[in-house]
Every structure is written in C-alpha cells, then in structure tokens.
Structure 1
Amino acid sequence: MRLGALAACLPGLLLLAGCAGPLPEQAPTAEADTLIHDGLLFDGGAGEGRIADIAIRGDRILEVGPGLRKRYRAAREIDAAGLVVSPGFIDPHTHPDTYLRSPDPAMRRLLPWLHQGVSTIFIGIDGGGTPDIAAERATLEAAGTGTNVAAHVGLGPVRRRVLGDDARAPDAAELARMRGLVANAMCEGAFGLSTGLFYTPQSFASTDEVVALAREAAIRGGVYDTHQRDESSYSLGLMGSIEEVLEIGRRAGLPVHIGHIKALGADVHGSAGAVIARIERAQAEGQRVTADQYPWLASSTGLGAALLPDWAMDGGRPALFERLDDPATAARIRDGIRDNLQRRGGADAILMTGTGWPWSARTLQRFADEAGLDPVEAALRIIREGGTGRIGSAQRIASFNMHRDDVELFMRQPWVLTASDGGDGHPRQHATFPEKYARFVAAEGVIDMAAFIHRSSGLTATTFGIRDRGFLRAGQFADVLVFDPAAYAPRADYVRPAVLSEGVVHLFVNGVPMIDGGLAAHALPGRVLQHRPPPGTCP
C-alpha cells in the first residue's frame, strides 16, 4: 500500500500527500459535570451578551467561552439556545424569616427567591441584624438553606441590648459596649452595619451615635447599609435624610448603601432628580454611594411604623398604651396618625396584607367603614390587637405612595441595584426580579438586559465585597441562572402576593441544580457567606 493511502486509512495521523478527505475531530478530553452551551450569556459585568458555553465541575465554574463542547466531556449537557444565561441574582435586601427560620426543610429552600433566579440573599437589613453573627451562621448552616445567605449586623438589636427601647443617648460606657458589639459582629463575618433609622428604637439614635458605630464597620472593611431616617416628610425630610446618610459615610469613612431608595408620599413626589444630583455630587467628590430599589409603586411596612409618631413609642408598646389611656396624650397621638395618613395618601391608599385578621385584604378605609370607625380609630384598633412591635405581621401594609416617574428615574441610574425588600404579604417577595424584567426591560425598555443583569448580580457582589460570586468567570462559584426571556415574568400581584414566578429554566447554587427544567429540587446547597476583615483589625 502506498504511504499516502495508508495515511488516509489511519485517523489521527498527520495528513500526508495523497491522503483524501479531512480527519475526524478529536474527542473532548476535559471532564465537567455540567456543560451549558449555546446560550446568550451575560457574565455579570456591564457588557452586552454573547453566545458562549459554561463548563461546571463541583461547586465551581471551570471555563466560560465559545465551543467548549469540543473540549469538555460532561456528565450532563444543557442546550441553552434561545435562553439567557447569567450569574444567579443577588438580592441585597430581604425579609425571609417565614422561610429561612422554618423547621420544614422544604420551606428553607426559599422558593420565592429561587423561582426568580436568586442564588444569594442578604439578611439583617433595616437595622434588624443580630450581633451574634457566629451563632447565626452556625444555626443556618446546621439547618441548611436553598440559597446562599449573607448578613449585616443591625443597629436595632445592638441598641436594644444596651439601651432597651428608651429614647435617650448612650453614655460613654454604653456607647463603648455598642461599639464592641458591632466590632465583634464584623470580625465574625458581618458584611456591614445596617440601620433602620425610621424605626424605633433606632430612630432615637443621633447621627453622632451612628457614626461611632459605623466607624467600627469601616475599620473592618464593611459597608453602611441604611433604611434612611426619612424617605418622605416625617422628620428631616427626604433631602435632609440623604444629607445625613452622606455625612455618616463621610465621617465614618466607609461606603454607604441606601436601601429601597424612593420618594415616599405626595409631599416628595418628583424629588428623584434632586436626590440623584446630590448623590452624584458626593460620588464626584470621591464618596462611594450606591442604592437598591424594588420596581413597585407600593411600599410595605407595619401600620404602626407608618402612622404612629416616634415619641409615642418611647419605652415600647406598654408605654404606648399608657399614653393612649391619657386623654391629652392620646389626642396628640391621634393628631400624629392623622398627619401621617395624609403623607401616605389617605386610608384608601393603605392595603392591609397580614393574613387571618378581620382587616386582612382590606384597605384601611374599607375596614374602618365595615367596623363603623373613623380611619384613625380603625388604625389604633389594629395596632392594639395586631401583635408586638410596629411592623408585626398582623399590621403589615402595602402603602401606595410612590410616583412612577420617580421609580423610573432611580431605576436608570447605573449605581442602583435590584432588591426585593421581600417579606410576607407583598408581591415583591415572589416577583421583584421578574417584574423589573418583564415590565421595565422587555415591555417598556426603561433599561436594557445588560443593565438589568449587571445590577442584579455583578454590581451587587462588588458593592458588598462578595468574593467569587456575581460573575460567570473561571474559578467563580457555580451560581448560574438560565431563564427564558419570553417567559420570565411575575405571577404574584397585590391580591395574590404569594404566587411563584415563571420562566427560570435552570438555577445552580454552588453547582447544585436547584431549579431544573422549571422544577425546584429538594436540596439545601446554600452557604452562609462571611466577610473577611483586613488583617490586623480583629483579635
């Protein structure tokens, strides 16, 4: 046999003169558990999407790029043609206690977030985070979660542990104890200090007090995350409150992040432009300022938090009820409720969202009419009968108090992230990310796909210093989302707030498929993430 003919008959030999036809392609040699191929991939950065593949092995991404099927042999291949592939979304502001603290492992999968494509959530926001971060982590790790969880330490528990519910300033020794609680929490892995200065007893804290505590987070590389003191015209006013946020960050020396940024109530509608201009001036001066936002026109809080004057809560609920028993003081409280009802747009603009109560699924005005009460008296009845605190579940409300133009203007800013603020009774718990996509990206084009994904993943990871997540890159943890751009949409609304969203085809959390073909798996692969303070800042 001639040498050329022999070469033609032996695949894998060099092509020699006289050999007819191309050689067969070489078989893939690299090993992967999962190969997602031919999807429109957005890597979590600000750039546009591209057709590319992802190889996953264990809990990590091996490689991202075109043509990986030629190089990887995978136990499973997912054809993502026509689908969008992105990092799993990171929700920086959640209230998931019903799910996260449940004894039922099926609840701890956190399905409302998984079906939105969320692979990581933040807890301890609005100043509610325990300072016992190590104990919190141990509890969550022992129970297991469906998503990753990151935590802040909160001003509320820190202040209450030292000062109770009293409206007073700490003395030097008390402030030192509070600073120690924050410092220890940061060393145990908290990502930052969170405050909810709108809520008692946190609202009793002065700017100087918050600065002192924020410095402890700053020393240890954390952020200042805040539900600012006033989103409306309750106390400082919206612009005065923005100034306080910036002052705290500037004096304490750390990045500031404004939770659920908004202009709440008719008194401040149209203020988004002024807020944006002030923040951008601070950014131009070198300050790191970001915010997050949910794409809804109704906020959610407790009826007491929305309507009661702060001074009435000095000392907690027992003190409130004593004041209501005094006719002169009760008259002042009623006047304060009446003023705050006006700020909120009236009793018709407040929907009671707690379940199992006579006022459930009714506006405050409708419940007042049914009960034969003035709206102020109806509110006081709910506050008396509706459980502890100012934001207890029986008192939960959806408050229709935002203007569409403000919401859209904030959304367009490149430093505004997506967040659900998701708690029971409001559709944002089940539907925030799909609502933002379906309405403001796909239908109306307020922002584009790249901006939506970047501000729901990579930018969030960068803002809070989450390592090895938020991007589709080799070596990152395999938190990977595959969704159908034609079907990704909310199904929850204000009447049915607890309906799971649709359109997530696959979601991997640490390499484990938690949504597979649109169905949720019975697994708990989430991890409790830890902030790592700079060397030498912790014992």
Structure 2
Amino acid sequence: MRRRYLIYLAAALWLAAACLAGALWLQRTREHIWPLGGMSRLQRCTGHYDLAVRNGLVLDGLGHEPLRADIGVRDGRIACVGIMEAAEAQQVIDAAGQIVAPGFIDVHTHIEKNLPNGAAPFLAPNFARQGVTTIITGNCGRSVPSLAPMFEQLDRNGAQVNVASLIGHNTVRRQVMGAAARAPTPQELAAMEQLIARAMSAGALGLSTGLVYAPGMYARRDELIALTRVAAAQRGLYVTHLRDEGAQGMAAIQEALAIGAAANAPVHISHFKAQGRGQWGTAAARLALVDEARRKQMHVSIDQYPYTASSTGLEVLLPAGGESESSAQLRQSLRNPQMRARLRAAMLAQLQADGWPDYSFARVAYCPSNLAFNGLSINQIADRRLTRPAAPPHVTSAALKERATRTDEAQTPLASERALTEAERQADVILDLLAEGGAQMIYFDMDESDVAAIMKHDDTMFGSDSGVRLENAPAIPHPRGLGTFPRVLARYVREQQTLSLPDAVRRMTSLPAQTFGLGQRGQISAGYWADLVIFDAQHVADQATYEQPLAPPRGIAYTIVSGVVVLERGQLTTATPGRALRHQ
C-alpha cells in the first residue's frame, strides 16, 4: 500500500513539475529572443496606433519560423512588433489563426499599358488580391520612355499598390535608332547612355533587356555592356529576358553573365526556364551556370512563375529575323509563294530543333483581328479551318473569315492544302495570323520537374509576368495574373513541400527588396513600411485556370499598403495608398 502511495506521489510531483515547466516555457515564448530586425526581445507595445494587427502568426520575411505577436502601425510604418495588451489603435484586425507576412513583391510585371491618363489613380486589383503590395515593371526591355513623369503621376494620383520600374533597352533603342537592325553609331550609343543615365537618376532599378524581341535582338554584346555600365554606375541591375530560353538557352545565360561581369553589374535573369520539349530536364545544367558565377563572387539572381506554360507574342514562332517584320511587310512577303514556303520551312526546322512534332502546344490568348480564335490552339484553328492557309493574294481577310465560318463540309480544300502536312498547315495558320496583326499566346512548353528544380534554387524569386487583368476584357490570358503567389503557397508549399512556408515568404519579400534596392520593405521590423498580407496558410490557393483565368484566389484575407487596407476580408477597398518606389 505504501509502495503504491509513493508511486502516486511521484507521479503527482512529476505532473506538477511538467506543468511548471510548461508555464515557464510559455512565459519565455512570450518574451522570446526574436531575430526580427535586430530586436532583442518581444516587447510590450504601448501608446496609440493607427492600425493594430493582433494575434497573428508573424513571418518576418527573413526565413525564420513564425511567432505569435501583435503589430502596431503608425504613419504608414511598423512602429512596434510585440504584445499590444495595453495599446490602443484606431483600427484593429484580429489575425488569429492566420499568417501575417510582409506584403509580396512581384518582380516581373508589365503595367505600362494600364497606367491611367489624367488624375485617376492606378488600380491593380489582380495584384492586390494575391497579397502583392509592390510590383516591378519595365521588364523585358520595355518601359515607359521617361520614368520621372510616371513616378510623379503615381505619387500625385495614388495607386492600389507600390510601383517600381526598370528602364527598358528596347524602348531606349527605339527612341534613338528606330527599328534599325544594326549596331549603333558612337553618337547613337552616347544618346542611349544619356537616356539610361537620366532614368537611373529618376529612380530606375536598373536596365532591362528583351533580346528575343525587336529591336533588342539586334544589339551585340559590346552595346549591352556599355549601356549596362551606365546603370551599374548608379548601382542598378542588369535584368534580362534572355536571347533564347530554349535550345540555345545555355549560351544565352552565358551571354547574360558575361555582360554583367564586364559591366560590373548584378545580373537578374527573368522567368528562368528550360523551354521546349527538347530542353526538358536541363534546368539543373542551367542553374549550374548561375552557381558557377556566384562562386566567382558575381551577384546573380533569378525569378520564375510557378507554371509549365509561358505567354508571349505569336512572333516568337518565326525564325530568327522574321520577328522584326511588320504585319504589312509580312503580308507582302506571304504573297510570294516561294517566300511563304521558305518561311514555313524555317519555322518547321526551328520547331523540330525545339523537340515538337507540331504546334499543338500553342494556344491563342488574345487575337485582336478575330476574337473567335481566343482560347483555341493552333492545331484547333487549323482543324476548324478558321483561317485558310496559302491564300491567293486577291483573297481578302474578310473573305477568308466568311469562308472559314461556313459549315458546309463539302467545300473543297485548295489543291495546295491537300499536299501539306499537319505541321505545315499549322505553320501557315501562324503566318496568316501574324499578317493580320498577330496574337498573344500561351505556350505549354515547360516540364514540371524543371519548374520545381528552379524554385528550389537559393535566390529564386517570383514574378507573374502579368499586367493588370480586367474582368470585362475579351482575352483568355494566362492564369498567372491572378494565381502566381497563392499557387506557390498552395501547390509548392502546402501540397508538394517544395519550399517551407518561411522560405517561400522570404523569396516573395525580403529577397526581392534587398536584390532590387527597395529600401525598408520586405520585412516585418520596427521602422519598415507597413506593407503586409494576412492569409490562411491551410486554405490559401489559386483558383485561376487556363479556362477560367480571371478567378480570384482564396485564402488571402487582407492586403495592407503603407498601413492602409486595400483588401479587407477578401474584398477590395477604394483606398489607393501606393506610391512610386525609386531605387535606394
């Protein structure tokens, strides 16, 4: 009996000790030594705040594990991170059970065509819905010609999110040289250098190139080095859409790294990928080039969108040199049967080199000359006879469309068509579409294993490669415009565990802020701007698909820009606290 009593007493003492240890652990957790912005202790916040975010699981943006804490915001900045039991606030958000993180930074966008005229603020609802608080535009060599007026307009009229920009090489080259397919003269080079220097002084983050597009494709390495040196002199980056992302992708990466090394500039490679069936599985070899440069103390970073499909213009399917022809020039060329045959043969040679049997991987997102093509693949258009290939010169586009929409199955195909292979017929569809003004396309041209391998690389960030998505637009665009950031959190963090949640948030926040010189953004730390996102880590997900690309994500509850709520409980507000961000 005594023995049993002693056993019960020992058990009770052990339980009491465990409870005491648990209480001490909880107390130490509340006063946890927390590696946020150099804070040595989770402090008690006192006084009055404009906004208080309470009870959330805070991710600092630096890759550390989440900690339950409150955030006090005053005058647009984070004033306190700690315990707010004794504090007051004009607005309080209860984030219990949700993640509170720095607002996401989309490093690759194209919003130039979406900037409003007059006094209207810049609205970017598809970005705000994803938790994005800052976007970087001016990518792929294309920007507004003069950044200073754009920045001034944003500061004056307001914006839904913050906007930073690169200066585009294609834009600058076209200003000075037009569409000239040659090297610049010394005077022309000096004029381009002056425009870039002016843009850097206005706050550009660096120089962007789009070497797959005209007129950037005509630039030789010495021109690009000279212009990059101008940006690097003001601590700007060289940000590049490579000259090739497919069969010649390795050489294109080496070119970008050589330009950065010669100009003493950090290099950032946009939408890093291994494009084309013949290149699937080469992501590791491409990343090895980046790692080799980093071992030589070069600053090299990359971004990606988390999809196996890309999106750009139809003209990239033309052989090298053909992309520069205008629609009128191409129409004239296609009137010549021999010229059409040569173009078609060159296209098919490129198709084969990229590892494709036909053009079924290419889908129309937006065809301004015929909206009926939107959402159809090239092989579907060819099969439905919506465009007549190899049309005689005297047949007008209107006549082609009228004939194409006939339902008479007995209509006899042209004799020249009967001799064409499927791939040849599809190539002719592409040529005819280009002659009518072209189209924005979606290309299903990447492999999932490569996407995951690129994502795991230490310095991979995320960019949607999107503009503003309008709900009433006739296009059927890539879903990345509404899905990029929620997709990473859902598919690649929660479901596949490709990244941990703290590391994924780091890549969306502090890493791009530090890489692009965005100042005190991208971290939850006292003194930093209060750009925040609040989301449910267990339910956040992209809902945009290739068939329904405008479906908003779920699980993003709040988006906060400079302490002002622009998305509240999943609904957009009318606030426009965003501003122009200049390189710091």
Query: TM (normalized to structure 2)?
Result: 0.81
Whether 1:41 aligns to 2:58 is yes
- Among candidates 69, 79, 83, match of residue 94 of structure 2: 79
- Among candidates 354, 357, 361, match of residue 349 of structure 1: 361
- Among candidates 369, 374, 381, match of residue 432 of structure 2: 381
Q: Counterpart of 2:146?
A: 132
Q: Counterpart of 2:474?
A: none
Moved more, 320-329 or 166-175: 320-329
Whether 1:93 aligns to 2:104 is no
Residue 99 of structure 1, CA deviation? 4.2
Aligned counterparts, 1:35-184, within 5 A = 35-65=52-82, 67-70=83-86, 72-97=87-112, 99-101=114-116, 108-184=122-198
Residue 241 of structure 1, CA deviation? 0.6
Q: Given residue 350 of structure 1, which amino acid in structure 2 is its aligned partner?
A: A
2: CA distance between counterparts of 1:182 and 1:111? 31
CA 1:98–1:210: 2 relative to 1, 3 Å: closer
Moved more, 321-330 or 33-42: 321-330
The answer to whether the 8 A contact 1:410-1:416 is kept is yes
Residue 330 of structure 1, CA deviation? 2.9
Residue 316 of structure 1, CA deviation? 4.0
Deviations along 1:21-54, one digit per CA (max 9) or x if unpaired, are xxxxxx9851101111221111110222111111
Aligned counterparts, 1:96-495, within 5 A = 96-97=111-112, 99-101=114-116, 108-233=122-247, 237-305=248-316, 307-314=317-324, 316-342=326-352, 343=354, 345=356, 346-354=358-366, 357-371=371-385, 373=389, 374-386=425-437, 395-423=439-467, 425-495=477-547
Moved more, 164-173 or 247-256: 164-173
Deviations along 1:138-173, one digit per CA (max 9) or x if unpaired, are 333344320000000001111111111121010111
Residue 97 of structure 1, CA deviation? 4.5
CA 1:320–1:212: 2 relative to 1, 3 Å: farther
CA 1:243–1:29: 2 relative to 1, 3 Å: closer
The answer to whether the 8 A contact 2:327-2:437 is kept is no
Please tell me the root mean square deviation across aligned C-alpha atoms, in Å: 1.9
The answer to whether the 8 A contact 2:530-2:561 is kept is yes
Q: Counterpart of 1:310 in 2: which secondary structure?
A: coil
2: CA distance between counterparts of 1:28 and 1:488? 30
Q: Counterpart of 2:127 in 1: which secondary structure?
A: helix
Q: Counterpart of 2:35?
A: none
CA 1:62–1:384: 2 relative to 1, 3 Å: same
The answer to whether the 8 A contact 2:112-2:138 is kept is no
Q: Counterpart of 1:348 in 2: which secondary structure?
A: coil
Deviations along 1:436-478, one digit per CA (max 9) or x if unpaired, are 1111101110111011100001101001010011111111111
Q: Given residue 334 of structure 1, which amino acid in structure 2 is its aligned partner?
A: R
The answer to whether the 8 A contact 2:45-2:72 is kept is no
Q: Given residue 437 of structure 2, which amino acid in structure 1 is its aligned partner?
A: G
Deviations along 1:57-79, one digit per CA (max 9) or x if unpaired, are 121110112x2223x21122222
2: CA distance between counterparts of 1:141 and 1:309? 43
Unmatched segments (≥5 aa) in structure 1: 1-26, 388-394, 533-539
Q: Given residue 275 of structure 2, which amino acid in structure 1 is its aligned partner?
A: L
Q: Given residue 406 of structure 1, which amino acid in structure 2 is its aligned partner?
A: D
The answer to whether the 8 A contact 1:353-1:397 is kept is yes
Query: TM (normalized to structure 1)?
Result: 0.88
Deviations along 1:180-203, one digit per CA (max 9) or x if unpaired, are 111111111111000011111111
Q: Counterpart of 2:384 in 1: which secondary structure?
A: helix
1: CA distance between counterparts of 2:152 and 2:503? 36
1: CA distance between counterparts of 2:113 and 2:487? 22
Q: Counterpart of 2:277 in 1: which secondary structure?
A: coil
The answer to whether the 8 A contact 1:165-1:315 is kept is no
Q: Counterpart of 1:32?
A: 49
The answer to whether the 8 A contact 2:45-2:81 is kept is no
